[in-house]
Chain A
Amino acid sequence: MKTNDKGVLTGTHNLSGNQACAEGALAAGCRFLSAYPIPPSIEVIERFTQRAKEVDAIFIQMEDEISVLAAVLGASWAGKKAMTVTSGPGLSLMMEHIGLGVMLETPCVIVNVQRCGPSEGIPNSPSQGDVMQARWGSHGDYEIIVIYPNSPQEMFTQTIEAFNLSEKYRTPVVILSDESLARMVEKVVIPPANKIILEPRKHYKGPKNKYLPFKYDKDLVPPMVNAGEGYKFHITGLTHDEKGYPVMNEECQELNVHRLVRKIRNYVDNITNIEEKNLSDAEIVVVSYGITSRTVDKALKQARKDGINVGSIRLITVWPFPDKEIMKLSKKVKAFIVPELNFGQILLEVQRCNYGNAKIRFVEYGHEEIQNSDPILNAIRSLTK
């Protein structure tokens, strides 16, 4: 399925990460944005609303982030591709409805432009403190897909990818960004509409009266219909059977959670998207994601100059975590270096998948020194001594 041209601003532009995100959404066919203004995510809303008229998209500013995500879920069930954009405090308020989105298997995209936390923290400075929250923040057991681009260009492409994944697996997808990526202006190439591949909504084909909202296919993902098409379906946040009716027993709960978890876990290999750089001869591997990875590249160049065999893995999809890749690597490399803009979150995952094989160094960045590649270099050097 191709996008309709209206949304696609084909050409080369200088866009900030936030603007690129809005463009990506429009190109992906997103026509419903609900949000509550919170820095540093404003520019997405601005860009979207400026373009809203041309593509007759809808923007509504709700009274708080709770209702924001509720409205997005509603819009998605009404057949629109919907998304919201927020920052840490907003994401915390959305947690309950991320759970509902998972339970109702509603495709939608949540963009979280991270800022320093906890609580109000430092509103206008970058952070990577919400990485674990994005995965574990809502109550109950579920799996979710989290994407973390590292440039405006990638923000554009990955936003489209996020919509595709959310439609394919019928799950909310979180795009993590951060203040500096959001405000960074770079060249963004937007291809013509016919070059952009979109995942169509997995729409039910069979006869109307046979439709069961949660009767899943082999890939554990049930097909979907939209409100107002005359299927007269019922869906509930309670544990439900394939009719969508609440069923209060252990078996049904097992079935639900099992499927919600497995429909992602079974396809980790298809979902995982990582960027590997000269791993062939690497003895030291830097595992990074998002904005920090840009600093890593600088450090790697320098280290290679010094004749140290370093490589890097960049997580474009942070969740589900690429366990296998890290495990494989841990067997052949000397050490991992994990630079993060927080006090150690993905570090824990790397430790988990390392199986005690390689050394692990954590490089803790404060938002002030994010440009500075020396901490990584020093870590590399100290490991070669």
Chain B
Amino acid sequence: MKANPKDVRTGVFYIDGDVAAAEGALAAGCKFLGGYPITPSTEAAEAFARRAPQVGAMFIQMEDELGSIATVMGASLSGQKAMTITSGPGFSLMMETIGFGAMLEIPFVIINIQRSGPSTGLPTRTGQADMMQARWGSHGEYEVITLSPDSPQESFDFTIKAFNLAEKYRAPVMLMSDECVGHMTEKVEIPEADKIDLEPRRLYKGPKDKYIPFKPDKDLVPPMVKAGEGYRLYLSPLSHDQRGHPLLSQKSTTRRIVDKIRLNADDIIETKEDGLDDAEVVVVSYGITSRVAYRAIEQARKSGIKVGIFRLITVWPFPDKRITELAKRVKGFVVPEINYGQIVFEVERCVHGNANVVLVPHGGGWVHNPDDILGAIKQIMKAKKRYEGIFEYKTELEKLIFGSGVQKK
């Protein structure tokens, strides 16, 4: 299915990541945004609000994030592609309802423009510290899909991708952007509508009386219907069987909700590899950090170190297999993150002790200094032995603040 020309603002624009995300949503046929203002995500909501009436979409600013995410659930069930836009604190408030969406397999998209935390933190500065929260934030067992753009162009493309994944797998999909990408203004090319492929909603085709809400197809994803079409839906967030009736066991639906992502992981996972064929050191990065990493890699290559980059486009589900493969033939992994270690734990897990893992931490507020990443790369090259656990590289900034006084874990 192709995008609707009415929705797509074809052309070349000079816009920031937030606006690009909003345009992407509209191009993907998103017709509903329930939002609440929070720095640094507001530009996206503003852009959507401006364009909404022109394409027959609805923007409503709710009284809080609890409300905005709940409206998204309703709108999606009534047949619209729906999303919400927020940042860390709002994201935390949405957690309960994210679990609800996962349980009822409601397709929806959350755009999280990350900022520095915890709590209010630095509202106007960047961060990447919500990555684990995106995966584990709500109670109980569920799986999500997250995408992580590093440029306004990608914010546009990945938002469309996000909606496609949401419709395909009927799962929560999160675009984990950050303040840097959100406020970075760059050239964004929006193609013609017929160049944009959209995943149509999996609508149920069979006879009305035969409809079973949670009866999965082969790929473990059940087709769905719209509200108000006389299917007599009964949807309850209690653990349920295929008919949606409460069932005192997690073995059926809840298990499938997890499996439908885990077993389809290979189709979902998308990564970008650069110069890995001869690499001795691999920089694993995602989002804005990968742009900084490229700089460090250039410098390292200049000085004759064989470095490659492994970029996570979909951070969740995590590309376990590929990392394990790589670990067998490289010296080590450098993981720069704008946090004090989240994805690095996943890398450590998949490496199985076959290579060194060096974390380049950053408290947030700004991006890494390429020299730190370079330093970490050199660190691995000169490492004689296998480290016990993750080696936390001491960044210039850290030295500046703490000297070498504070001992490491």
Contacts and interface: CB of A to CB of B under 8 A. Distances in A.
Interface of A: 66, 88-89, 91-93, 95-96, 99-100, 102-104, 114, 116-123, 125, 127, 129-130, 132-133, 135-142, 220, 236-239, 248-258, 260-262, 265-266, 268, 323-324, 327, 342-343, 348, 351-357, 366-368
Nearest to B89: A96
B364 A141 contact: yes
B234 to A, nearest CB: 14
Nearest to B251: A366
In terms of DSSP, what is the predominant structure of the interface of chain B? loop
Given A118-B102, A256-B363, A261-B340, A239 B139 contact: no
27 contacts: A89-B99, A99-B92, A99-B117, A99-B118, A100-B120, A103-B119, A104-B119, A118-B140, A119-B104, A121-B250, A122-B238, A127-B250, A129-B139, A136-B133, A138-B92, A138-B118, A140-B88, A140-B121, A141-B340, A239-B122, A254-B398, A260-B118, A261-B340, A324-B389, A343-B258, A354-B353, A356-B352
B255 interface: yes
Given A92-B99, A137-B95, A139-B91, A116 B250 contact: yes
Interface string B377-409: 000000000001100000001101110001101
A236 B251 contact: no
Contacts of A342: 141
A139 B118 contact: yes
Interface in B110-136: 114, 116-125, 127, 129-130, 132-133, 135-136
A380 B140 CA distance: 27
A88 B123 CA distance: 28
A156 B108 CA distance: 43
What 9 A-B pairs come out closest when comparing CB atoms? A140-B117, A117-B140, A355-B353, A356-B352, A140-B118, A88-B139, A118-B140, A139-B88, A119-B237
A118 B138 contact: yes
Interface stretch (B211-219, B273-281, B341-349): B341-349
A140 B99 contact: no
- Most chain A Cβ neighbours within 10 Å, of B92, B100, B136, B354: B92
Contacts of B140: 88, 116-119, 121, 127, 129-130
A366 B249 contact: yes
A212 B255 CA distance: 51
A251 B400 contact: yes
B93 A93 contact: yes
B118 A103 contact: yes
Nearest to A87: B139
Nearest to B348: A352
B241 to A, nearest CB: 12
A117 B139 contact: yes
B364 A119 contact: no
A266 B405 CA distance: 12
Given A139-B130, A238-B120, A268-B409, A95 B258 contact: no
B126 to A, nearest CB: 10
Contacts of B388: 324, 327
Contacts of B100: 118-120
A216 to B, nearest CB: 11
Given A91-B139, A136-B135, A254-B365, A238 B122 contact: yes
Given A141-B363, A257-B364, A266-B406, A327 B397 contact: no
Nearest to A66: B93
Nearest to A93: B96
B356 to A, nearest CB: 11
Contacts of A250: 125, 363-366, 397
Contacts of B400: 251
Contact of B397 (A114, A254, A354): A254
Contact of B129 (A66, A93, A140, A265): A140
Contacts of A324: 388-389
A118 B254 contact: yes
A118 B136 contact: no
B116 A140 contact: yes
B161 interface: no
A125 B140 CA distance: 12
Nearest to A139: B88
Contacts of A114: 139
B362 interface: yes
Interface string B151-162: 000000000000
A254 B397 CA distance: 8
Contacts of A133: 136-139
A100 to B, nearest CB: 5
A286 to B, nearest CB: 20
A259 to B, nearest CB: 9
B10 interface: no
Contacts of A66: 93
A129 B141 contact: yes
B71 interface: no
A136 B136 contact: yes
A120 B121 contact: no
A89 B66 CA distance: 13
Contacts of B121: 103, 140, 237-239, 253
Contacts of B249: 122, 366, 368
